[in-house]
A = this chain, B = another copy of it.
């Protein structure tokens, strides 16, 4: 895991490549959405979905009707990317424009989770990944619901992170130009919870004080 494979070796701007497991895990845990790529009849397909990490495994869930899951069910090669946008890097020239971001790309073979205990733990992980604390504060899934949900598992054996932070890097001769340069920070911010019809009490703390893990 700590040493790059040929596929995960980040070739562009190598100084941004990170193979440290804690960095990779933190990015996977903070991102709410991931993008899963797979191959259908020789052509690439990329689809967004929700994930959760449990130790060294990334789980996905979804309806059995989903094309992605139908394809993955057989156990197929996937590439999963998550990207956290941290800022717009505004340089003196478009050539040096950039983004501050933290991203992870994982490669591997996703397998269908058959074991009911592993499946239930994965569903809990996915729920608490999006809304930590929610699993305990909701009606547990029925056997039929668990049965009707496909869960896929991807080992985190082949993963790498890319991170860009800090100000723009302009050419020396451009530094005196009259163009403002710097970073516009960007962050994903929760709003006030909106209750569903019939819910006339306050949302729980884990939603009113919602925040992603650090």
Q: Which residues of A are interface residues toward B (Cβ below 8 A)?
A: 7, 11-13, 32-33, 35-40, 42-48, 50, 62-63, 65-67, 77-81, 83, 85, 87-88, 90-95, 97, 99, 101, 103, 105, 107, 123-124, 126-127, 130-131, 134-135, 137-142, 145, 148-149, 167-168, 170, 174-175, 177, 179-199, 201-204, 207, 210
Contacting A186 at CB < 8 Å: which of B105, B123, B189? B189
Contacts of A177 in B (CB 8 A): 139
- Assuming the contacts A12-B63, A33-B99, A47-B105, asked whether A183 and B187 have C-beta atoms less than 8 A apart, the reply is no
> Closest approach, in angstroms, between the C-beta of A200 and any C-beta of chain B?
10
Contacting A94 at CB < 8 Å: which of B39, B107, B123? B123
The answer to whether B65 touches A11, judged by C-beta atoms less than 8 angstroms apart, is yes
- Residue with the highest number of chain B CB atoms closer than 10 Å, among A79, A93, A135, A189: A79
The answer to whether B194 touches A207, judged by C-beta atoms less than 8 angstroms apart, is no
Oligomer: number of copies: 2
- Residue with the highest number of chain B CB atoms closer than 10 Å, among A94, A131, A198: A94
A–B pairs, 13, beta carbons within 8 Å: A35-B37, A35-B81, A42-B77, A45-B107, A85-B188, A88-B207, A93-B139, A93-B140, A97-B126, A97-B130, A184-B203, A185-B190, A187-B189
